[in-house]
Amino acid sequence: MKPILPGAAIGVLGSGQLGRMFAIAARQMGYRVHTFSPDSDTPAGLVSDLEVNASWEDTKALKAFASDVAAVTFEFENVPFGVTTALEALLPVRPSGTVLHIAQNRIREKAFLAQAGLPVVPHKAVRRLEELRTALQEIGYPAILKTAESGYDGKGQIAIHSALQAEAAWNAIGGRDAVLEAFIDFECELSVVAARGEDGSFAHYGLLENHHKNHILQTTTAPARVPDQIAVEAVEVTRAVLEGLGAIGVICVEFFLTRGGRLLINEIAPRPHNSGHFTLDACVTSQFEQQLRAVCGLPLGSTRQFQAAAMTNLLGDLWARGEPDWGAACGRHEVKLHLYGKREARPGRKMGHMTALGGDADSALKAVTDAMLVLGRPEKG
């Protein structure tokens, strides 16, 4: 394919903060951005050239959307698969509908990883209550039951501690196709955000260390504070994932590091990832510009990181006692504030993030955590 050059319009399926940061990167490089989603007044739509709001089933609206853009990408994995299939008949969709199809379903995703010989959390596919009972005997306790589709930020997951809880757990997830996983008593959670270009080139941002609270990412530290050998191994596994998928775009691989020092893949995100947000402030090319370059068939950009960095999410819970004190956070010289333009702050909702640079990962993490503290505790007045 001939590269898609600045001036062209790129289509984004989905309209959350990932689409917003992609749109900002694309517009910075002189592209136009059209977003498509069933919602209006969205984080991505607010900064796009055109916000189409129509249902995923509206084939007429999809066709019109496709006729105005040179290529399409997506910013979340719950875009119905049929939408990408329909679009692929008309124009390039990157990464492909096949990648989306695998990544949007935990059963298919884990089957792909196991088939590729990659290290994955012990699991069993479960489609009926009886299968759950058998799987529990094999996996043991505690185990985690996850719906195959539509889960995010820990939604659609439930822990099971004994055979007595099987039926209640099955009902709690709505009796849908699911995966039963062994509970991993991990040392830490890690991720690699990487890109693959049209020419097969590969670029990555090193190994990232992630801390979750209530299943939602709280902080990322870049680089991860683990031995170099683990980082080398994680990057090689990630490269194998991108090549196995034949992906053109940005993909994140989430890992558990077990207490025995083993890396196990938890899941794959077929798009830029929350743990890669630090790249906006800390790297030559952000993960969003990298996605744009891959989608457009341009050479991938340098992933060189200027300094160690740490990122903290700003969740809706922070608004419990009114608007956070942005002025105080901005008073921290090394801290960068990003807000997504969402009007309603609900508990657990990702409203924005902050990034700090530092001489090493520890001091970057301290700087961003300190900034977080002053948000809720005004320094003057």
The answer to whether residues 21 and 79 touch, using CB atoms and an 8 Å cutoff, is no
As measured in angstroms, the least distance from the Cβ of 124 to ligand ADP is: 12
Amino acid at 337: L
Nearer to ligand ADP, 5 or 159 (CB): 159
Measure the CA–CA gap between 35 and 27, rounded to whole angstroms: 13
As measured in angstroms, the least distance from the Cβ of 252 to ligand ADP is: 10
As measured in angstroms, the least distance from the Cβ of 10 to ligand ADP is: 26
The answer to whether residues 315 and 369 touch, using CB atoms and an 8 Å cutoff, is no
As measured in angstroms, the least distance from the Cβ of 217 to ligand ADP is: 7
Nearer to ligand ADP, 156 or 324 (CB): 156
Nearer to ligand ADP, 152 or 306 (CB): 152
Measure the CA–CA gap between 71 and 305, rounded to whole angstroms: 29
Nearer to ligand ADP, 254 or 289 (CB): 254
Measure the CA–CA gap between 14 and 36, rounded to whole angstroms: 6
Point out the residue whose Cβ comes nearest to ligand ADP: 184
Coil, strand, or helix at residue 322? coil
The secondary structure of residue 283, as a DSSP letter, is B
- Kindly give, in sequence order, each residue whose CB lies less than 8 Å from that of residue 78, ignoring residues fewer than 6 positions away: 104, 149, 150, 152
Measured N-to-C along each axis, helices 106-115 and 228-245 cross at an angle, to the nearest 10 degrees, of 110
As measured in angstroms, the least distance from the Cβ of 212 to ligand ADP is: 4
Measure the CA–CA gap between 70 and 2, rounded to whole angstroms: 11
The residues of the shown chain that bind ligand ADP, judged by CB under 6 A, are 121, 144, 151-154, 181, 183-184, 189, 212, 215, 254, 266-267
As measured in angstroms, the least distance from the Cβ of 159 to ligand ADP is: 9
Nearer to ligand ADP, 95 or 197 (CB): 95
Measured N-to-C along each axis, helices 81-88 and 59-67 cross at an angle, to the nearest 10 degrees, of 50
Nearer to ligand ADP, 184 or 339 (CB): 184
